[in-house]
Amino acid sequence: MIVYEASKEEFLTHVDKDELVSHILDQFELKLGRTSESEIRSWDNSMLHMYRVLNDQSIPNDAGVAIEFKIPYTSKRVDFLLSGHDGDNDSVVIVELKQWSEVEKVEGKEAIVKTAINRGFREVTHPSYQAWSYAVLIEDYNENVQDQYIQLKPCSYLHNYRKQQDDPLTDDYYEYYLNLAPVYAKGDVEKLRNFIKKYIKHGDNKEILYQIEQGKIRPSKSLQDSLASMLKGNQEFVMIDEQKVFYETALELAERAVKTDTKQVMIVEGGPGTGKSVLAINLLVALTNQSLTCQYVTKILHLEVYIRLNLKVTSRKLELIICLKGQEVIQIPRRMN
């Protein structure tokens, strides 16, 4: 779901007339409910900076602009998207916007930094990781993005942040994610423009944004294959005795839910070590491979440790897909036609 949608030209006009935040707020309250004063202030601040970035004749006026795109089945929202064509491909540039002015490097934790939030210094994900992770979620679960080969190009823009020599934000420790999603800071307007212009050479009159918003939720074939490969040959996840019985019963209930369009509930009880996680992981893979929308809901830390110790997953993407689903609302499976 997109909160605010316009052409680049309309976006610039709304900022010029000091109407943009009112438009965003009206649509936000209509579609998502109330928000905080701090978020409203962040729109006021960040959108002025994006106005400066997009106020360039080389960026087509009919390129699509979207603000606050809510990723389906999650509580996550993408700050800013710009859509168009690069001459060969449909493209969407994802911009994660940050108000940060300070960053500290965190050793020993992948893609984690410290910054000032809510009157304290907190550990958060690196903005490049955040932008990349949102792109991955959309790519792996949006049918139109998959079928129409829409390329998503993530980046982050910390418009209040002044880079220094040997800056922790761009430290080599974060090189992997910086290559996937470059980070721009105060004074990098021209660099961010050039990144956008590389992928948005022609406008699309918001058509690509429409395709993304209307895209059905369907796990991609690459995700299905990756999940299946996790279990292949892994003896930790061979089901025995009652596990197999409950597994087949759960699959039967899922099929019945699809055919009858009615909710089905199955509760499996057992103490630690009785195999509930083995059952759940096998069901996650099996239902995903049937193109059903399926989520594993658990505590993020518990599942991340479980993945690392038992699944022996080395793929950052697989850990991201499963861990970002933690603590989200579970959905009833629906077949994606």
> What does the pLDDT look like over 290-326, one tens digit per residue?
878 777 776 544 454 455 445 444 455 554 554 444 4
CA distance linking residue 196 with residue 159, whole number of Å: 16
- Whether 54 and 133 map to the same domain: the answer is yes
- Whether 35 and 81 map to the same domain: the answer is yes
The predicted-structure confidence for 194-231, as pLDDT tens digits, reads as follows: 999 999 999 999 999 999 999 887 766 666 666 666 66
Query: What mean pLDDT do residues 21-47 have?
Result: 94
- Whether 132 and 281 map to the same domain: the answer is no
Residue 167 has pLDDT above 50, yes or no: yes
The pLDDT score that the predictor gives to residue 169 is: 96
Average pLDDT, the chain: 84
Query: What mean pLDDT do residues 112-127 have?
Result: 88
- Whether 55 and 192 map to the same domain: the answer is yes
Give, in order, the Cα–Cα distances in Å from 246 to each of 60, 87, 108, 240, 278: 56, 52, 40, 10, 11
Residue 334 has pLDDT above 50, yes or no: no
The pLDDT score that the predictor gives to residue 27 is: 94
The pLDDT score that the predictor gives to residue 241 is: 66
Boundary-marking domain end, from 214, 244, 264: 214
Model confidence, pTM: 0.75
CB under 8 A, 24+ apart: contacts of 228-235 = 228/285, 228/289, 230/285, 230/311, 230/313, 230/318, 231/281, 231/282, 231/285, 231/311, 234/310, 234/311, 234/312
Which of these, 204, 245, 167, lies nearest to 60 by C-alpha position? 204
CA distance linking residue 80 with residue 4, whole number of Å: 10
Boundary-marking domain end, from 169, 194, 214: 214
Q: Which domain holds residue 253?
A: 221-323
129 Cβ neighbours under 8 A, 6+ residues apart: 111, 174, 177, 181
Boundary-marking domain end, from 197, 214, 231: 214
Which of these, 41, 78, 81, 49, lies nearest to 63 by C-alpha position? 81
Query: Total structural domains in the chain?
Result: 2
Residue 337 resides in a domain: no
Work out the percent of the chain whose per-residue pLDDT is above 90.
55
